[in-house]
Structure 1
């Protein structure tokens, strides 16, 4: 804090100098003008004395009229020259009044006073003091317990409440501790400071609804329903919100509706979420079958995997080294974005690989969502998945995704041009 106040003092002195220095310079100029005025009066006095001497010489008969006129003209020229030099050096007279000096000093005093008043209103010296005095490692190098970490995060958020990332982290921690009420409060704080047009907003709002749901003993109420509807109005495929609607329908024994909510949620589900949703869909389907009801086809429950045996052609083995990267992936026929991918090295070849949804690149691009794909294995000299001339590659196309039971043989056998 000492450095802060020293900086404020120096800046205040600089501001005062901008006001007082011009006043001081004005006084100096005013003082310099007075000698110039005195010198002009002296030159006039000398001229008059010399002219009187010339008159006396002429009266005594020592100067004729021509010489008198000539010397008098010379005196006049010298006088005019001296006067011109004095005026040019002095310029316009400058007079610094007492009122101007008083005004300048008042302004000089007002500038730091106003600065301190504004800083006291809008400044954050208290936050700065807390930040500067906070120990670099409050745990002295040891691994904190969960409770200590939560306490430290709460203290930080008390100092910096406008931190949606911090509130979100705290909420997730409370969820893992099954403190659902505290988690809901933290999610609410995160949403308070997170812009509604942020891409994460719908997901966080869905998790807020989930925390409220668990805090209410797994029962839906008007507030939770409102938050679910708000989430789905932003993102109709939000996994958490759809999952909650599925749970509500399942608990109400509306198994068909539960199954449809969970099937829709699979669109954006991660691998872990998908496993849980598929388990729920299976349970809802079994309930319908046990009740003697018909069920629709559920391709989502079919296990989708492609088993490969990848090898390198003997003719190309001299062109590679054991540490070179090998990218093995399935993508839509003619497409570019992989639906499932795995990275190994040349040293691993030959290798058996299973491509499935657990290796998907994103929830929106899954292997199970495709009907046919092409499978590619590429050895990259640069270590990058983008193909470059000189890479080695092998392809199988087209390959049916569903119902595939054979082990596919994939040979890396040609050079990328």
Structure 2
């Protein structure tokens, strides 16, 4: 089985690591005299070639031999090879390596997946033709925007597609790029706020609130910005003001407006939350 092979390989690696300890291998320690011999030989060549005069050569030779003598009379203990590791230390290292190998095999057998070795990875399900066509269009749009980024409508379309796909961070980036080219669009600021809101799981962040506020500064009647700013008021704890804002959206909406159902559902959910809080004692009227 695969774990037996893993155990054999781990044991081999551990053996290679502890083998020098078992053998007590030590490195040689040099006293540095070979360096002085090389300096003397080099000095002799320079003297023969005339690169240095006799007085300077004799002075250099005396200096080299003086340092050689000092090195030879140094502390012998410093030049002595280190003592080999104790028997108990070597045995402890070897035992520790063996225990590590055993533990590695046990842990792999407990949490590993040896049965996956040799299996063919499962193929990801293919997208339906409609989804493939949409992905191809998005890829073409991304390529076009990479070549011509001064296209706010293209960035808005890309942002809306990312929003529907749940890629909220990418959607926010696309809307911000569109706003750079068209900073006076309430639609783009409201879409940016929605992407930022969904990015935080429905919690009204400062970035989302600012985007909705900018949208309302440009167009106070923007329905999406009004709806989500009422949500911000609701999350701030002012349920009555939020309900009034949502009701105002309904009062000004056409009978066949597509967003009526969403606003009505939000009002119903807020009323249900208020009733549940009142029953639990969180809200008690004086």
State the TM-score, normalized to the length of structure 2: 0.46
Structure ranking higher on relative contact order (CA contacts 8 Å, 6+ apart): 2
Give the structure with the larger strand fraction: 1
State the TM-score, normalized to the length of structure 1: 0.33
> Of the two, which has the highest radius of gyration?
1
Give the structure with the larger helix fraction: 2
